[in-house]
Amino acid sequence: MAAQRYELFDHTADVGVRVCAPTLAELLGPATAGLYAIIGRLVNDGREAESRELELGADEPALLLRDYLAEVLGLFEMGRRMVTAVDVREFSQTRLTATVQLQRVDVAASSLEREVKAVTYHELRIWPVADGYEATYIVDI
Amino acid sequence: MAGKYTGPVEQIDNCRWRIPRSYKPAMRVDGIIYADSELMESILLDQSPEQVANVATLPGVVGASLAMPDIHWGYGFCIGGVAATDPDEGGVISPGGVGYDINCGVRLVRTDIPAQEARARIKELVDTLFREVPCGVGGTGKVKFSQKELRELVTGGAPYVVARGFGWEEDIAHTEAHGALDGAQPDCVSNHAYERGLDQVGTLGSGNHFIEVQVVEEVVDAQAAAAFGLVPGHIAVTIHSGSRGLGYQVCDDAIKELRDAPRKYGIELPDRQLVCAPVASPEGQRYLGAMRAAANYAWCNRQLLLHLTRKAFAQVFGSPAERLGMRQVYDVAHNIAKLEPYEVRGQRRTLCVHRKGATRAFPAGHPEVPPAYQEVGQPVLVPGDMGRASWVLVGQPRAMDETFGSCCHGAGRVLSRGAAIRAAKGRSIQQELLRAGVVARARGRSGLDEEQPEAYKDVSRVVDVVHKLGISTKVARLRPIGVIKG
């Protein structure tokens, strides 16, 4: 089984994230961590988490991944909330449903390095590998 | 990820290179890259020429898909790209041809402050700017706007905030489009975008955005420099920022809405970041309305940044900004799409000109050039890196024939952010800049490392190309002495 992990890769003015996981659903965790790693070092405030239901539809899994990450970015940008857990109920070719646990970012304890403008469609891909899936996405800085 | 460009490229002359239309069956026009041989060597190291070729496939594209000498690899369009489409020939508008930071642009202010006086107070000045101007991730504006006021702001543009006391009337006359595009549609901007931009008016942001204190070091064109108020040995200030979260979200919303448009309109695309719709379509019109609103937001943002800059200068020099001669030279967008008239094969056509990392460069006599600059042409503001130089150019008639009234917008990156951080390991970029006579302050730890001078091409080399081509010519070189970054 592929371990869940992410790594950042270079793109001239922006930053890319490469993710691998045993299942499509498990891509979301490291994809989220990769996005946060670009923003900086995020620390949550330790208070009780709130739940948020996400229901996304698109033509293919890579678009669902992008739309999920756009939601995660929006939650950070508007209200400084970070996803601390994600429970995926369905990640099919055209549909993603999940419950995310959100906690507030402790801005004073965090180190915010970069403003991510958006998760782009450039080099956006998910593909099967021998022991799971890999994905790439690039964010605009 | 992607490696070198391996497609065809033909040298036309010392400053122009062609990617022939025959490269890809879907290309409707040639690609043209403006560069000298040395710049071209680095341009071919990434996939930006491929992106120039991809843009040449867009429906209704006119003339050629163009790339300025500061071209580098972007997403969909290259950075430094210019593409004009003809709406009457099914021409499309593409949010990717504008970019996420709609109306990212540059504002230049001149002053009567001699360099030696500024150098004596430069640390205090930079510290004051750093304190007074919200910057970095999460910076919020000092002037608060309600939801209702924000809708008025995106409709009214810079005149709206000037009327509220955040600037001078003459700033408006020296701003592209007078700081407000007609046809902004506040109802086409999502609540999400309004929420993202609500408390960010008057914030610098992060990344490559900055405010730089500069010395006018060399004047090349005395007539134009005099018209622009640039005096050798005096201080100038450059402000670089855009439409903040509101603009990013407008672009993101539009690309999502347009995902199905290529299928609907029968458009084949080589890269889905190029999603587009006919300019005249409902989708195209909605994007235009929202993009114009975001552009107006950006002009308000830079207007407020100028207001804060003038306050900081007044505080440090103990004199009102008026007495310091802090007049705005010009404000110009470099991420935008506009409907502009051009001569195409002997006919007057209104084209949709996408400038993504490209600056408008209108010549003397053009009706959109301010009255004070009618004799010389529009100021073209080309910031470089924070260690070497920035340039002020002036638009020339050849730009109207060759580049749809466009020119380069900066130096262009050569190092990725990761490579720049690796190159900075074990060094203090702040100390290196200080030794070179530049006082720099940044919010994030990595900001100065990622934006270090070596991360960029030499802007003077880039400017040499457009000067030789005659699309814009040199007016003055500015040398940085202080900078704040997000």
CB pairs under 8 A between A and B: 107
Residue A2: pLDDT above 60? no
Determine the Cα–Cα distance for residues B240 and B203; give it in Å rounded to an integer.
11
Indicate whether B141 pLDDT > 70.
Answer: yes
The answer to whether B178 touches B369, Cβ cutoff 8 Å, is no
Q: Give contacts of B75 with chain A, Cβ < 8 Å.
A: 14, 120-123, 138, 140
Q: Select the more confidently predicted residue: B354 or B345.
A: B354
**Cross-chain Cβ contact A120/B75 below 8 Å:** yes
Say whether pLDDT at B230 is over 70. yes
pLDDT > 90? residue A11 = no
Q: What is the mean pLDDT of chain B?
A: 96
Average of per-residue pLDDT values in chain A: 94
Q: Is B409 a catalytic residue?
A: yes
What 3-state class would DSSP assign to B32? strand
Give the separation between CA A47 and CA B87, rounded to whole angstroms. Answer: 54
Across the range B382-386, mean pLDDT stands at: 96
pLDDT for B445 equals 72
Q: pLDDT by residue (tens digit) across B11-37?
A: 999 999 999 999 999 999 999 999 999
Q: Which residues of A touch B74 (CB under 8 A)?
A: 12-13, 122
Residue A3: the pLDDT is 65
Q: What angle, rounded to 10 degrees, do the helices at B244-257 and B282-317 form? A: 170
- C-alpha distance from A40 to closest chain B C-alpha (Å): 9
Q: Which residues contact A112 (CB under 8 A, 6 or more apart)?
A: A39, A40, A42, B136, B137, B138, B444
Question: Of A8, A40, A123, which is closest to B418 when you measure between CB atoms?
Answer: A8
Rounded CA gap, A42 and B142, in Å? 25
Q: Is the pLDDT of residue A4 over 90?
A: no
Taking CB atoms and an 8 Å limit, are B196 and A78 in contact across chains?
yes
The domain locations on chain A are 5-140
**Does B112 contact chain A (CB < 8 Å)?**
no
Q: Is B163 on the interface with A (CB under 8 A)?
A: no
What residues have CB less than 8 Å from B427, skipping those under 6 apart?
none
In this prediction, residues B393-421 reach a mean pLDDT of: 95
3-state SS class at A12: coil
* CB-closest option in A9, A63, A74 to B192: A74
Cβ <8 Å between A115 and B195: no
| Facing B206 at nearest CB: one of A58, A111, A115 | A115
- Note the ipTM here: 0.93
Of the residues B72, B307, B334, B409, only one is catalytic, namely B409
Q: Does domain A5-140 have CATH number 3.55.10.10?
A: yes
